[in-house]
Copies of this chain bind each other. A is one copy, B any other.
């Protein structure tokens, strides 16, 4: 069982990264920082006769990195009560991959994976972050992925997350879960 972590934050060592790294301590994982890639927004060409066009950005390179893994951890700061726009653009593009002849088994491959979400927000994320969790559930349901669980932490300033004992404990639990 191998793990890829998809980081949606834009600030290195942000609270969500600290919390995520707590949950993967001692485990070898593939770390994918979306901010290091050029990901264009989707152009919805589902209904155009010519279909989706190649974007010539880095999106497919990310897909190639995640597909070999069994477990995907989506790690995102909560910006405006949802995942970062960077991560949203990445997921929006799945609509293109679902119709991409180069990835004929994309949905089937994704459906074999287990997903986790780790998210940190500053404005009452335990309540106001819940719609985002519901959206991830819908996303994973659509792809046929198993939603293994989520950890929500609270933090604004760098390092804040280290004071959220409940989130740290949940991350430790996830760590043990991932090790077994």
Contacts and interface: CB of A to CB of B under 8 A. Distances in A.
Interface of A: 9-11, 14, 35, 41-45, 47, 77, 79-86, 88-92, 94-95, 123, 126-128, 130-135, 137-139, 142, 147, 149-150, 157-158, 165-166, 169-170, 173
Given A11-B47, A35-B41, A131-B135, 16 more contacts: A10-B42, A10-B43, A11-B43, A42-B79, A42-B84, A79-B95, A80-B91, A80-B135, A82-B135, A86-B89, A88-B88, A123-B142, A127-B134, A127-B147, A132-B135, A134-B134
Contacts of A137: 127
Given A41-B86, A92-B79, A47 B157 contact: yes
A17 to B, nearest CB: 11
B10 A44 contact: yes
B81 A138 contact: yes
Contacts of A138: 80-81, 123, 128, 131
Given A131-B135, A134-B134, A135-B81, A45 B126 contact: no
For the complex, would chain A's binding face be called helix, strand, loop or mixed by DSSP majority? helix
A131 B134 contact: yes
A48 to B, nearest CB: 8
Contacts of A11: 43-45, 47
A123 B95 CA distance: 13
Given A84-B92, A88-B85, A89-B89, A132 B131 contact: yes
A130 B130 contact: yes
The 5 closest A-B pairs by CB, nearest first: A131-B131, A85-B89, A85-B88, A11-B44, A81-B138
Contact of A92 (B41, B80, B150): B80
